Amino acid sequence: MDWQMLTLVGEDQPGIVAKVTDSLYQGGFNLGEASMIRLGGNFTIMMMVSGPGQSEALIERLAPLADSIGLKLHLDPIRGALHQHRVPNFQVRVNGADRAGIVARVTGVLAQCGFNILELESDVVGSAERPVYIMTIQGYADSTLEDLQQALAQLKRREIDVHVSSIETLIG
């Protein structure tokens, strides 16, 4: 199948997912893998879509809807297929005073360990005066748990609390 990566972003409101997916269904499009999340008062959709015609047909189908509900639409042809998942074997949790560089520092250390980030979620909690950054990362690495813990230990000097744990996944 030829897949397109559809990205829609706009102010959060009830019914976005229902309207977008119904429009795609009515147009004969197939949905593949998707990620949908609310970020900072905005709703973001990323999904694999395939169907009749080229990308122009998909844009023609969705552009009026996107405009009517205030969504920005972006479409890219992608190489890929369903069921191409690498199963995460580690989870990293980060807590620290919100300040510039936390994501760069943590992900930089993980990259040096050969850690492939499969999913990253973050949030800022606390108050405007005392913001706290929370991040959860799931990924895959050939490294051992001990190697990852040792590599991430350097971040404690920067007052970044990092915990890494193994993920035991049973498949089948």
State which amino acid sits at residue 96.
Answer: G
Residue 172 — very low, low, confident or very high, per pLDDT cuts 50/70/90?
low
Please state, in angstroms and rounded to a whole number, the distance separating the CA atoms of residues 71 and 61.
14
- 46-101 pLDDT tens trace: 999 998 877 888 999 999 999 999 999 999 988 877 777 788 999 999 998 888 88
- 1-56 pLDDT tens trace: 689 999 999 999 999 999 999 999 999 999 999 999 998 899 999 999 998 877 88
Cβ pair 28, 52 in contact under 8 A: yes
User: What's the Cα-to-Cα distance from 146 to each of 20, 139, 142, 152, rounded to whole Å?
Assistant: 45, 16, 12, 10
The angle subtended at Cα 22 by Cα 16 and Cα 27, nearest 5°, is 130
Length of the chain (residues): 172
Q: CB neighbours of 61 closer than 8 A, spacing ≥ 6? A: 23, 24, 27, 29
Q: In 3-state terms, what secondary structure has residue 35? A: strand
For the entire predicted model, the pTM comes to 0.78
